[in-house]
């Protein structure tokens, strides 16, 4: 078992992060809020230049890793565009959304694209987004979907549709940790930087441990999908559960260390936190994700990273 990303995928992710920073970085999401209908024009040219839509993550293991690295870079800048959903697309659509059967929604407002859907029970469909009812500041581009049944083989849809958005959320956790560390190293209290206080160090350590755990699970779930494992959906769900739990801790710590500033538009953390909400709540939140994973696993449990230490080795 090798859960390390290839050198090519890692470099692609670094180049993507730099390209998005050069295109505007934090300003991209702010400009998209001001003019929601132009958000595709802000982002799509950069992604096309990177060759994002030429990736075939379903067919090639290295390109799957590159797609994951791209999602992570998009998350780092809270990119106002459904990169993971576009990369998870089946052959007959421009993107794929994992939806709740009870209330199908997606962060795809103001995008003229063909959307395929899949439910947690693996039912395929297609969707048309409704017109946004509120401003993006309140919805983070989430809108209701009109869903129709579709005759499509959903093989791989659910696992990939759950997996890649978790890599986007991982990128957001990367940025939240970076912002918290930067803040506490420059702010002073009682003549010392905040980073010198033991309580602050403990909080950052807790957040970093959660973040690192999600990264390891993300790599494992990617490997599980690459190898065609029968547990790929379960592994993707367990990753999603861990990512949501980690996001709660990482963003709480980051906001606590920033204080009131973290909720002001002057701080990138405010934008990052707001646009992480769709990833943390759709198609299911923490409790529903836990319930779904429990239902799927029954009494057999997860295979996991360390299921057979005698025959498998993590490289």
Condensed to tens digits (0 to 9), the pLDDT of residues 145-155 reads 999 999 898 88
Looking at the domain 157-297, which fold is it? Answer: Butyryl-CoA Dehydrogenase, subunit A; domain 3 (1.20.140)
Q: In the chain, at which residue ranges do the beta strands (DSSP E only) sit? A: 95-99, 105-106, 115-119, 124-129, 143-149, 188-189, 192-193
| pTM for the full predicted model | 0.93
Q: How large is the average pLDDT for residues 136-158?
A: 92
Condensed to tens digits (0 to 9), the pLDDT of residues 256-276 reads 998 877 788 889 999 999 999
106: which 2 tokens?
Answer: 């997606």
Residue 277: burial class (beta carbons within 10 Å; 0-12, 13-18, 19+): middle
How many CB atoms are closer than 10 A to CB 199? 8
pLDDT band at 307 (very low <50, low <70, confident <90, very high): low
Residue 271: burial class (beta carbons within 10 Å; 0-12, 13-18, 19+): buried
Phi and psi angles of residue 134, each rounded to the nearest 5 degrees, phi first = -135, 170
């Amino acid at each position: 078992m090798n859960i390390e990303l290839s050198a090519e995928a890692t470099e692609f992710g670094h180049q993507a992060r730099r390209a998005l920073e050069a295109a505007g970085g934090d300003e991209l999401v702010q400009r998209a809020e001001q003019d929601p209908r132009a958000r595709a024009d802000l982002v799509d040219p950069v992604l096309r230049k990177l060759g994002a839509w030429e990736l075939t993550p379903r067919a090639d293991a290295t390109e799957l890793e590159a797609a994951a690295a791209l999602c992570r870079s998009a998350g780092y800048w809270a990119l106002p565009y459904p990169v993971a959903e576009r990369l998870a697309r089946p052959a007959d659509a421009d993107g794929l959304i994992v939806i709740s059967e009870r209330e199908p929604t997606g962060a795809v407002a103001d995008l003229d694209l063909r959307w395929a859907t899949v439910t947690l029970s693996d039912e395929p469909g297609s969707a048309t987004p409704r017109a946004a009812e509120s401003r993006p500041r309140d919805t983070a581009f989430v809108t209701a979907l009109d869903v129709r049944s579709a005759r499509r083989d959903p093989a791989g849809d659910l696992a990939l549709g759950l997996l890649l958005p978790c890599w986007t959320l991982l990128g957001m956790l990367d940025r939240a940790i970076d912002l918290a560390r930067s803040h506490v190293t420059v702010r002073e209290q009682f003549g010392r930087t905040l980073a010198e206080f033991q309580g602050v160090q403990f909080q950052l350590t807790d957040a970093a441990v959660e973040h690192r755990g999600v990264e390891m699970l993300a790599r494992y779930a990617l490997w599980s999908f690459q190898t065609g494992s029968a547990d790929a959906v379960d592994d993707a769900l367990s990753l999603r559960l861990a990512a949501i739990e980690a996001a709660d801790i990482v963003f709480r710590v980051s906001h606590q260390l920033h204080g009131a500033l973290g909720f002001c538009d002057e701080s990138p953390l405010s934008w990052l936190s707001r646009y992480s909400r769709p990833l943390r709540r759709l198609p299911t939140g923490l409790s529903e994700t836990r319930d779904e994973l429990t239902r799927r696993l029954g009494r057999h449990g997860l295979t996991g990273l360390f299921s057979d230490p005698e025959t498998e080795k993590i490289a």
